[in-house]
Amino acid sequence: MMNITRLLLTILLLLSFSGCAVKPPEFVFITPEKKDTFSSLAKEHLGNPSLAWQIQESNGIATITPGEELIIPTKPIHPGGVTSNGYQLIPVLSYHNFSSDQSKDMLTVSASNFESQLDYLKKEKFHTLTIEQFQDFLESGHAPRNSILLTIDDGWLSSYNIAYPMLQKFGFNATLFVTTNYLNEQNPKIISWDQARKMDHDKSINIQCHSKSHRDFNLLEDKESIQSYITSLEDEVVTSKNIINKEIGKKVTSFAYPYGNTNPVAIEILKQHEYGTAFTVKRTQNTFFTPNYLLSRIMIYGEHDMKEFKNSVSVFKKLNIDKPEPIDNVTDIRKIAFLNASDYEEKEQWRTALLAWKMQRDWLTSHKIDLIKASLKSKEDLLKKAEEKVVELNQRVKKIAQTHYLAATSSRGKHTIRKHLLRTLLYDPNHQDALEMLKKMPSKKQLTHYKVKENETFETISTKLYNKKDNSLLIPLFNSRIKDESDLKPGVELILPTASAMNNIKTSEASRCQVELIKPSYLVARDLYTEANVLFSQDKISEAIEKLKKATCLNPSDDIAKEMLEMLQGL
């Protein structure tokens, strides 16, 4: 027989659909039956069985005990994983190739090392996120505590022969960013489209985009104009997206920059073509406020030992944001004394008091009738008081949040500003101005605002900002309302890349150094240095010098290669 709690919740839902002003509860009080599972309860009360972890973490349990009451929050208690002690981190790992045995190639991880790494993640109870779940975290700040995103680049055959079965063995999933030209060329070292379809359709591996040809987005090809560059980048992101859609039958939403390199032009093109996220290879973890198109990934190398791997998967950033309250450290929400919510007010624990009054309100609304000893009138009085307290405390915490936000806007120093913004969101997770300011902090040096003056043209603005006319194409690219120069009215404010950001787009090293880049330039430079040593040992001095010239061209900071070049040139 359906228990009374579920009956009351059903009535509340029916009332809400009938137009009555009944708000859905923020906390559901449920006494599970023998047939219930975390997934079935998540589907019933949260609308999604994959949110089972939310019930487990909120109640601090691994298994359900029939008859033991659970409390199910329908909204995140700690959006972004922000507490007074710090905030949640989500590491994104980047793999490339795998091998049966140990390999000398830095980007190749042995099967045994990969298995050990997955075994560690399993034992430490990590949740491997799908790309969709990771994107949800960026939007709502909601993910399991020990969350991680596994990614693989390029589409080497080993991702199918080694990584795919290993992920299945541990019940994990990963995102595979493919370079579509590699698959189209039917290279025996690269997966086929049939293999890509098989992996994607069984949900173990999610196929996403790594460009069409793997060109470096920060490098201009030989004699390439800015117009040709923009056209090429659009081709890289659009053609590859369409090919994956055709071959796999899915909408592509995420992009991994070749070599991890990006700039405002590349980001704007991705936005215009409806990519939701894009990844660099900046070696750090991600937060809920990491910009969607500057996401970090930690590359895992074949030479990494387990100590280095463990250091790569931190899931929490400790930071003294504010005075600790019970809400910050509770591992079982049932331990919040919500029937004595006023006790938290007396201690000026405002965030915990608000939580407790919300819980009391929803308990009074939906709890078993036979457990409420007071008369119906008394229950109504208690409910009214709880609702009034929720309104009162909501106003209080929002006022505190706004104080911190104003402090952020008048502060200097990024660490001080970030701390004030985190305090703002600690008290008011829905403070959109604070969230937007936090997300934009890393991109301040990337974009600038420019106010149009009388009689200005695309070329005069480009010359003023970049000292060249060719960049005039950036004006309509970054400002959709500007179709042509007739839209350049005095006072109109434009958003454009800074000159320093555009200076990061350089002439191709491949052209400048006369080498073919099939992997990152520093790795090619290292290989050239090794080849130069072999040639030197064979007494082929002139050939060794040519190798070293190219190595130092690709990596000017390699002092050892420079010293060897100077030595050989002096012979």
Which tens digit of pLDDT belongs to each residue from 199-242? Answer: 999 989 999 999 999 999 999 988 899 999 999 999 999 999 99
pLDDT of residue 368: 53
User: Of 434, 331, 326, 341, which is closest to residue 393 (Cα–Cα)?
Assistant: 341
pLDDT over 90 at 22, yes or no: no
Using 50, 70 and 90 to split pLDDT, how confident is the model at 555?
confident
Burial class (CB in 10 A: 0-12, 13-18, 19+), 51: buried
**Do the domains spanning 86-318 and 447-503 agree at the CATH topology level?**
no
Asked whether 87 and 81 are in contact (CB, 8 A), the reply is yes
User: Of 347, 359, 365, 424, which is closest to residue 390 (Cα–Cα)?
Assistant: 359
**Conformation bin of residue 301: beta by default, left when phi > 0, alpha when psi is -120 to 50:** beta
What's the whole-number mean pLDDT along residues 331-355?
A: 97
Higher pLDDT, 421 or 520: 421
Concatenate the DSSP letters of all residues of 298-357 into one string: EEPPTT--HHHHHHTT--EEE---S---HHHH-S-GGGS-GGGHHHHHHTT-HHHHHHHH
pLDDT over 80 at 515, yes or no: no
Using 50, 70 and 90 to split pLDDT, how confident is the model at 335?
very high
pLDDT digits (tens, 9 = 90+) for 158-200: 999 999 999 999 999 999 999 999 999 888 999 999 999 999 9
Using 50, 70 and 90 to split pLDDT, how confident is the model at 518?
low
**CA atoms within a 13 Å half-sphere pointing along the CA-CB vector of 52:** 13
Using 50, 70 and 90 to split pLDDT, how confident is the model at 8?
very low
Question: Residue type for 103, please?
Answer: S
**Whole-number average pLDDT of the chain:** 91
pLDDT digits (tens, 9 = 90+) for 298-308: 999 998 899 99
Domain 86-318 in CATH 3.30.590.20? The answer is no
Distance CA 500, CA 479 (A): 19
pLDDT digits (tens, 9 = 90+) for 527-541: 899 999 999 888 888
What's the whole-number mean pLDDT along residues 457-479?
A: 95
pLDDT digits (tens, 9 = 90+) for 351-406: 999 999 999 999 998 865 444 454 455 778 889 999 999 999 999 999 999 999 99
Looking at the chain, the whole-number percentage of residues with pLDDT higher than 70 is: 93
pLDDT over 60 at 12, yes or no: no
Task: Tell the CATH superfamily of the 447-503 domain.
Answer: LysM domain (3.10.350.10)
What's the whole-number mean pLDDT along residues 316-327?
A: 96
User: Of 370, 391, 372, 392, which is closest to residue 382 (Cα–Cα)?
Assistant: 372
Using 50, 70 and 90 to split pLDDT, how confident is the model at 523?
confident
What's the whole-number mean pLDDT along residues 117-146?
A: 95
pLDDT digits (tens, 9 = 90+) for 258-287: 999 999 999 999 999 999 999 999 999 999
**Conformation bin of residue 129: beta by default, left when phi > 0, alpha when psi is -120 to 50:** beta
Asked whether 42 and 52 are in contact (CB, 8 A), the reply is yes
Contacts (Cβ under 8 Å, ≥6 apart) of 462: 468, 469, 470, 471, 472, 474, 475
Q: Which residue has the tokens 């430490």?
A: 124
Distance CA 61, CA 498 (A): 51
- What are the Cα distances from residue 388, in Å, to 234, 301, 343, 358, 366? 54, 57, 16, 10, 18
Ordered alpha helix ranges (H), 410-478: 414-427, 432-440, 458-466, 474-478
Cα dihedral across residues 485, 489, 491, 495: positive or negative: negative
Distance CA 332, CA 369 (A): 24
pLDDT of residue 16: 43
What's the whole-number mean pLDDT along residues 334-360?
A: 97
Domain layout of the chain by residue ranges? 4-77+352-395, 86-318, 402-443, 447-503, 508-569
